[in-house]
Each structure stands twice: as C-alpha cells, then as structure tokens.
Amino acid sequence: MLDRVTGMQVFARVAALGSLSAAARALGMSQTMATKHIAAIEVRLGVKLLHRTTRRLSLTEAGRGYLEAAERILGEIDEAEADAAAASHEVGGMLRISVPVSFGIRQIGPLLPDLLSRHPALSVDLGLNDRYVDLIEEGFDLAVRIGRLQDSTMIARRLAPCSVLVCAAPAYLARHGTPATVAELGRHACLIYTLSRSADPDVWAFGPKGEVRAAVGGTLRANNGDALVAAAIAGQGLVSGPAFMLVDAIGDGRLVVLDLDHQPTPLDGVFAVYPANRRPPAKVRAFIDHMIAVYSPAPPWETCGDHRSRGLHLLPHPGSD
C-alpha cells in the first residue's frame, strides 16, 4: 500500500500548483507515481478529489475538505519534526536557497563557510538567479529577496536594511561636473537597470517614500547590476543601485557617492521568505538566525553612504581654466 503521508504531500502540492506534472517535479518523483498516489487516495475514500481537464486540475468539494485536513496534518508533522530537531540541537540536511546573483556572490557566499562549520550535518545548495523563483514549484526551502515583497503567501523575515545610492567615477565627474540636485540628473548620462521593480526603470525615485522623481537616460541599459557598476567605474555615467553592490568601489575610491538635495528612496530591505503553510525547519531557522546575527546592528554596506562627494563640486567643468 502506498504511504498515506506521501499521498497527502502529493495531493497538497497538486492543489497548490494545479498540475500533476508540476507537483511530481517539485517532489522529485515521476508523474506516474504522483498519479498513483492520487488514485490510491480516491479509491480508499471512495470519492473524487479532483476535476480533471486537458488544461488544469481543480478541487471537488470533497477535495477541498480533504485538502484542509491534509494541510493541517502535514503542518503538525513538520512542526513535530522541527521541534524534535530543535530539541536535539541538530541542524542538518540539504538547505536549498534562491538568492539574487550580485547579493549572493557578495554577501551570502562569504558567510556560508561559517554557517556550515557551525552545523557540520548541514549542506547548502545555493541557487543564484535574478528572476522571480517559485519556491514550491522549484523545490527551494527559502529565498533571499530585496525590495518590495509582492507574494503574500510567503512568510518574510527582514534580515537587514538596504539603502540606494547614486554614484559616479571621479573621472566622469571631472569631465562632466558633479550634479548637486535631482533636477540636474536629466542632463547626465545615467546607466539604466532594466529589471527594476518600479513601474518605469527610466525614472529614479528620491525621498523617503519616492515622492521626488527624476527622468533619466543614457546610452547603456542592462539587466544586470554588476555590468552597470563596471560601466560606472569606467566613467560611462551615473549609476543608481543598492548599497551592497557599490560599497567596495566606494571604499577604494573608484566610485563617489553623490550628495544630492534629495536622497534616493531606500529599498524596503533584505528579506528571507519561505512558504507560509508550514513551520520552518531547523535548517531554515539556522540560516535566518545566522544572517541576522551577522548583519546586526547594521550590515557593512550601510556604512558606505558616508563617503559622499563633499567638495567634488570644486572639480573643474569641461572648458574651465
């Protein structure tokens, strides 16, 4: 007889994703086996749990009742296992994390050796990707996300604040002058990040709530922040980005933070998010606790805004004596 708990897991995942094939992939089993689990439940209960069409699966009335009970039982099992793991102080297993590329390379990767040394039974699969990742469908335990969160089905823990800075290379400022106000940005070459979550990547936001807007433009656009930072260092133009991407170049003088009349609107923060329908296992809690401990009271990238362009307005403009 097929395992009942696994059958509940398959059914709950099918209900969440609306597809047997997607549920099978998320659970690491064949679609044939997933179908057998659903069929075994329906035979055992003597009712149909799913309406099947050529395009999507939907729940019957009996299926909705069974899903509610199954999610409650699965949640209790997860909680019992998490409590047992916590009681034994054992953090182990494979932790799959989805992280934006630049943040993962700069801020997460260097912290993982210490986390792993603290928990020898733990292993980490770090997925670096700037696209939005469906944690459930793709089998991740949690994701690190930066900025405004849009998925209300996830539980979010804020790990750290994240300021936004506008920077340029000293050589660019020497050639073109240093803007002192937001209104002057439109006269400068600005490097545009095309994956910006704002409605218009050609508009930069300033002020605590984004109440001051600046239309910007330039000759280079990219869907990767590292490419824009490299272009700014090479003197291509002004770059606006999260402080964690700019801190190294600011620290060694390759970039200068512009001291404008309005400060860039900060991002909502750096968050760890995980599915809301279960208590996080010990490995997820261990990762979150480690990140918060490292970033408290303030992460290192939040100090780079002190390196502002005070005095750079004295640099000669092109054509001056």
Top-confidence residue, 309 or 181: 181
**Hey, which residues does 192 pair with through a beta bridge?**
221
Which position has the higher pLDDT, 312 or 201? 201
Mean pLDDT value of segment 89-108: 89
**pLDDT exceeds 70 at position 318:** no
Amino acid at 131: R
Q: What is the mean pLDDT of the chain?
A: 86
10 contacts: CB under 8 Å, gap ≥ 6:
23, 24, 27, 29, 34, 37, 38
Confidence check: pLDDT of 319 > 80: no
Domains of the chain: 4-87 (1.10.10.10), 93-162+268-300 (3.40.190.10), 164-266+304-314 (3.40.190.10)
CB contact set of 124 (below 8 Å; sequence gap of 6+): 94, 95, 96, 97, 112, 115, 116
DSSP 8-state class, residue 301: G
Task: Using the CB atoms, write b or e for 59-81: b if 16+ within 10 Å.
Answer: beeebeebbeebbeebeeeeeee
What is the rounded CA–CA span in Å between residue 209 and residue 214? 14
**For 202, how many CA atoms within 13 A lie in the half-sphere containing its CB?**
6
Which of the listed ranges 49-58, 83-92, 215-224 does the model predict with the highest average pLDDT? 215-224
Distance CA 205, CA 216 (A): 10
Radius of gyration of the chain (CA): 25
pTM strictly above 0.85: no
3-state SS, residue 98: strand
* Phi/psi of residue 24, nearest 5 degrees: -60, -45
Distance CA 21, CA 26 (A): 9
Q: Is the pLDDT of residue 211 over 50?
A: yes
Structure confidence at residue 17 as a pLDDT band (50, 70, 90)? confident
SS3 240: strand
User: For residue 241, is pLDDT > 90?
Assistant: yes
Q: Is 217 helix (H, G, I), strand (E, B) or coil?
A: strand
Question: According to the model, what pLDDT value does residue 282 have?
Answer: 87
Q: Characterise 269 by phi-psi region: left (phi > 0), alpha (psi -120 to 50), beta (else).
A: left
Q: In degrees rounded to 5, what are phi and psi of residue 128?
A: -100, 115
Convert the pLDDT of each residue in 104-159 to its tens digit: 999 999 999 999 999 999 999 999 988 888 888 888 999 999 988 776 678 889 99
